[in-house]
Amino acid sequence: MLWILLALIFLGLLGYVLGRQRAVASASGDVRELHSLPNYYGLNVTLLTLVPALLVLGLWLIVQPIIVERTVAGQIPASFMEQVENPTLLMTEVRRLAGGIETAIERGFLNVEDAANLASDTDIRAQLAEAGVALGADVSTEVLAAAQDFRAMNATGATWMLIVVFALAFAGLAYSYVRTHKDLRARNRVEYAILSILMIASTLAILTTVGIVLSMLWDTRNFFQLYPWQDFFFGLEWRPSFEGGSELGLIPLLWGTLYISLIALLVAVPIGLFAAIYMAEYATKRVRSVAKPLIEVLAGIPTIVYGLFALITVGPMLRDYFAQPLGLGDSSSSVMTAGIVMGIMLIPFVSSLSDDIINSVPQTLRDGSYGLGATQSETVKQVILPAALPGIVGAVLLAASRAIGETMIVVLGAGAAARLDLNPFEAMTTVTVKIVGQLTGDTDFSSPEALVAFALGLTLFVITLGLNIFALYIVRKYREQYD
């Protein structure tokens, strides 16, 4: 693999030098005659040499294994398939055997002919074990045949890949070299190529999101085949049990998530916003230069440290001074604990973003208001905050998505008991905590207890997506009115 890349890069460099030379020569050495700077002619050749070849190489590497696997799987006799208890594991076995044979050849325990003539009646497992490859089970004839097919097809594929990739590289090099002439608009071509690269980069980001959603959708679908969706979305109980008969209701988790997030926002939004107003409008330069970085330090603290703070300080304090005297419970992990600590974590998000937004409100608006005899506080309330509102809403919703996705503070602050309760001094838990819970330890990915994690994840994704869309809507609505 590596040498293919190196060879391609070498070809690209060669193309650069050749293209540049040819362009300069076509202008009989006078660079001013060229349509573009000489470098662009070189780059143009390099790009045409490398880009198609690399694209095909990448595509080939993705597509070949899929095709090979399909074909090999199709060639395994159906009668044999029926005997095997777990058909999905069969392909793994084939792949493992094929890989093992390759490794053995590489390490010199088998030569190529021996490898081709391996028979299932000899003890392949022992032979390969000698070469340091461990196989899970004895090799059957059908698996061996499939593995040999697999190897053969991969080898042919690799050969063809080399031929095609280098043919493309050479073709690109030759074509662009011949086309290089002093009137060629090399600069425009190179810039177009760069534009395409930028476009591909942004497309990749979008495609990744789509990919994540699709993979979650797949497992979520599997989950809903094992567990009725009504019971998931409307179930009021969360009692997973790996022996079966679990109740996997979303409502208690969702309630915990929203309740804790609400308390966190109730803490973070006023404090953060007021801090931002003070920083942006009232604080002197010196205070600001000290206080702003200090507030932002809060954003740098890992959430697990906040969790510890919740566990050993805030939780017991709330229990001893509020919950117990008021008779509201005696649990040190509670919605209140997690909510308050999470709120503290979110303060810098709200304050820092709001501060930037308030600062970006034009000074002319402030002058206009002062010029009419408004006080500073009237100006802040009636002119600056309305003008900054879309941005502030954005900041708050960003904080909300952070709150909904937060895990560590909840585990340590609110506990892991799924409960549907109004009392903020009771332990509750959130969706994220349960996703971690369901996927920790021994998990069987065919049981609803594990697969429910994907359904939870997707639900969370949809909620945050909805929140973001709502934020965009709000921002746009006020933009229309205010800009």
Kindly give the residue spans of alpha helices, DSSP state H, lying in 76-135: 78-83, 87-107, 112-116, 124-130
73 vs 374 by CB, closer to another protein: 374
The least distance separating another protein from the CB of residue 26, rounded to whole angstroms, comes to 52
Nearer to another protein by Cβ, of 9 and 385: the residue is 385
Helix (H) or strand (E) holding 478: helix 448-482
CB of 400 to another protein, least distance (A): 24
Could you tell me if 274 and 353 are in contact, meaning their C-beta atoms sit under 8 angstroms apart?
Answer: no
Q: From CA 428, how far away is CA 421, in angstroms rounded?
A: 8
Question: In whole angstroms, how close is the CB of 357 to another protein at the nearest point?
Answer: 13
Q: How far is the CB of 276 from another protein (least distance, A)?
A: 18
Say if residues 77 and 141 touch (Cβ distance below 8 Å). no
Q: How far is the CB of 383 from another protein (least distance, A)?
A: 5
Q: What is the C-alpha R_g of the chain?
A: 32
- Which amino acid would we find at residue 61? L
Q: Degrees (nearest 5) of the Cα angle 202, 206, 210?
A: 160
Coil/strand/helix, residue 122: coil
Q: 443: which DSSP letter?
A: -
Q: Is the CB of 241 or the CB of 363 nearer to another protein? A: 363
Q: Which is nearer to another protein, 385 or 417 (CB)?
A: 385
Q: Could you tell me the two tokens for 19?
A: 């293209």
Q: How far apart are CA 342 and CA 344, in angstroms?
A: 5
Smaller CB distance to another protein: residue 327 or 362?
362
Smallest separation (angstroms) from another protein to the CB of 355: 19
Q: What is the helix (H) or strand (E) element at residue 248, kind and residue range? A: strand 247-248
- Tell me whether residue 4 or residue 474 sits nearer to another protein (CB atom): 474
Provide the 10 A C-beta neighbour count for residue 476: 10
Q: What is the largest distance, in Å, between two alpha-carbon atoms of the chain?
A: 99
In contact, 448 and 227? CB cutoff 8 Å: yes
Closer by beta carbon to another protein, 79 or else 363: 363
Report in angstroms how near the CB of residue 285 gets to another protein at its nearest. Answer: 8
Between residues 328 and 365, which has the closer beta carbon with respect to another protein? 365
Phi, then psi, of 184 in degrees rounded to 5: -65, 135
Assess contact for 427 and 415: CB atoms under 8 A.
yes
The CB-of-361 to another protein minimum distance in angstroms stands at 9
How many angstroms separate the CA atoms of 357 and 385, rounded?
10
Task: Specify the residue, 230 or 363, whose C-beta has the smaller distance to another protein.
Answer: 363
- Of the pair 126, 372, the CB lying nearest another protein is at 372
Q: State the nearest-atom distance from the C-beta of 346 to another protein, in Å.
A: 27
3-state secondary structure of 238: strand
Structure tokens at 140: 């059957």
- CB of 45 or CB of 361, closer to another protein: 361
Shortest spacing between CB 296 and another protein, in angstroms? 24
DSSP string, 21-45: HHHHHHTTT-GGGSSS-HHHHHHHH
Query: Min. distance of Cβ 286 from another protein in angstroms?
Result: 11
Give 30's Cβ-side CA count (13 Å radius).
Answer: 5
The residues that touch another protein, with contacts defined as CB under 8 A, are: 362, 364-375, 378, 382-383, 386-387, 480-483
CA dihedral 146, 147, 149, 152 (to 10 degrees): 180
